[in-house]
Structure 1
Amino acid sequence: MTVQMIEVKLCETKKKKPESSQLGFGRVFTDHMFVADYTEGQGWSDHRIVPYEPITLDPAAIVFHYGQTVFEGLKAYLSKDGSVRLFRPEQNMRRMNQSSARLCMPQIDEDLAIEALKELLIIDKEWIPTAEGTSLYIRPFMIATESHLGVSPSKKYSFMIILSPVGSYYKEGIHPVKILVENEYVRAVAGGTGTAKTAGNYASGLRAQEVAGQKGYAQVLWLDGVEKKYIEEVGSMNVFFKINGEVITPMLNGSILEGITRKSIIQLLNHWDIPVTERKISMDEIREATENGTLEEAFGTGTAAVISPIGEFNWQDNKYVVNNGVTGQLSKRLYENLTGIQTGAIEDPFNWIVEVD
């Protein structure tokens, strides 16, 4: 899957690009997409960049019936010098292969997938927005395409990459959001698919998210699926708490997704000599820390929102306000430094950035 092997077909008519002020998240797509196909026994073939268009699948395609699909999410940024920057793309492709292994799907060549992404970005570079807080969201994904109504791994797949210019994931931006702690539904359990980035994980969370939205909350806080006691994730993000000067995040336990932003935040905190611990943390501990005043900050982390401060928890109909409902200093510092590294405004001491030639 080298760049030289990619067939390129450019679109005849380009789409009208939205104004940066009109960008939402994931509703507008660029002119082109990358596609490759897989057949068992033959491997990957027919690598191509083509105009963005609908795809045609047989109604019996396995993805529709048995959910064999995985995806990733990362971003491209345009720096002031005009260079296109990717943030740790090798981590996304590595995690995609981990997800694929869990779903009995074929592996991609990670290095060559990044090269294909670079080629796509060069073609659609003009779609990268430049306003503060905007970026080009990148969605690599794989679906099972074999037509077969049988519970077994597909023998055919398509791997695609699509691009979408985006603004802030939450309309609140870096301002704190209110969170509803979920006590009825669960997101995942150890041994399940919680560590894979697969569509079913997100579909199963929609009902809880809908209920939270009806009650005026931006997201749900997921508890463990066994005791419903220990904190796991917030919405589709990892979560951090600053208690009495120490930053704590739930340890990876077989049901929590290993977030790339999570990993980067931990590295930043270590770099700054700020104590950070990965361990179990319960809602009882958060309640107690809120009541005694030691819960200083709480925030979610993920590719889409980067940092999403939490201003309030609702747990068992009791409201717990964090930091008087305002963005904490650490949350702001992390957001500014991480986005600064991503856009080139701040030096990258970790070699996280990959520039597109």
Structure 2
Amino acid sequence: MPKFRLIYSWPRNLAGKLLNEPGMPPRECIVVRVQQEEKVGHARAVLVETLRCRAEAITTNLGSEHAETLLALHRLAKVLQFRGALAEAETLQRQILAAREAQFGPEDPDTLIDLNNLALVLERRGQWKEATDLYRRAVEAQERRLGAAHLATLASVGNLAEVLRLQGQLAEAEALQRRVLAGREDQLGSKHRKTLVSLNNLALVLQDQGNLDEAEPFARKCKEGGEALLGAANPETLIWVNNLATLLEDQGNLNEAEELYRKALAGGEAHLVRSHPDTLTWVYNLAGVLMKRQNFADAEPLMRRAVAGREEHLGAGHPDTLISVYGLAELLEATGSIAEAEELFIRELNGMEELHGPDHEETQASRENLERFRHQHGRSG
């Protein structure tokens, strides 16, 4: 069953935007007033429609290429991305990038930001080849404009390394992450937050390569650095606690992995909210390690909570929701609830087809898993 590992996280608003991030300028605040407590779960949907109406009005009044129009479209695209509406987010990001390139040229700093934004959406959609090409273009332009060691360049190098990791191009991803880590250590020091992020990202690559013993010191140093710099209860520290737990789980150290997942979940419930995407990640991961320990009775309510929470707050078709649906299906198969498990495997396949298309490798993997399930349990399609 897949585990969730995360790159970074600061406290976020309904739009998924970071709050109180050091060094970032103040952001415009859009207030969504929800009068009835039971409708708070729908506030993000209201926010999407608010931003959509606002973008349409600004486009009508100022034109499709005005700076304010592009900013409004950018805000809408980021919220759609956070909500899992990746196809619409991609369309908007392409529109923004084309307008920015036409006005300011392909190497303008704002153009490169929009280039990275489009690449990120493509990465989330599994369109890794095009995302890789865009990240490489951003890196090359920044190297020319800013230099290879500039912190903005290193940020784009890190983005490129991550999409290469997702494609299994681990040797190049490792080399790039080592470059980013070395550059940040040299310019920011070993205890800076961005340096800790790089420690985390290098550990992820090494973990994917199967170099678990080499990855563990990086992951532990990242967790310990986060606790010292940000505090043990900080949401980002909890992310690094989670990622160390996934590594320990891969090593077979299920006792410590479970302990760390519980620590991350307790911190998320205390300092975020029960429905926060990161909190639900820790719910899901804890359920997964409990399944490995054959503790299905404790795992099932957690996995159902992950599915229900992600359905409500991210949407039924969001990639994270579909992974949770798959996890619940596996659990129910293991406990003998075959009919419900089959329904969930079918639902996950349908969601993957809608998200990625019928021929994408992840869709094909889902289809093969459903066929395996039906063959093993004597179910007809």
Instruction: Say yes or no: TM over 0.5.
Output: no
Q: Which has the higher helix share?
A: 2
Greater relative contact order structure (CA < 8 Å, 6+ sep): 1
Q: TM-score, normalised by structure 2?
A: 0.26
Q: Which has the higher strand share?
A: 1
Q: TM-score, normalised by structure 1?
A: 0.27
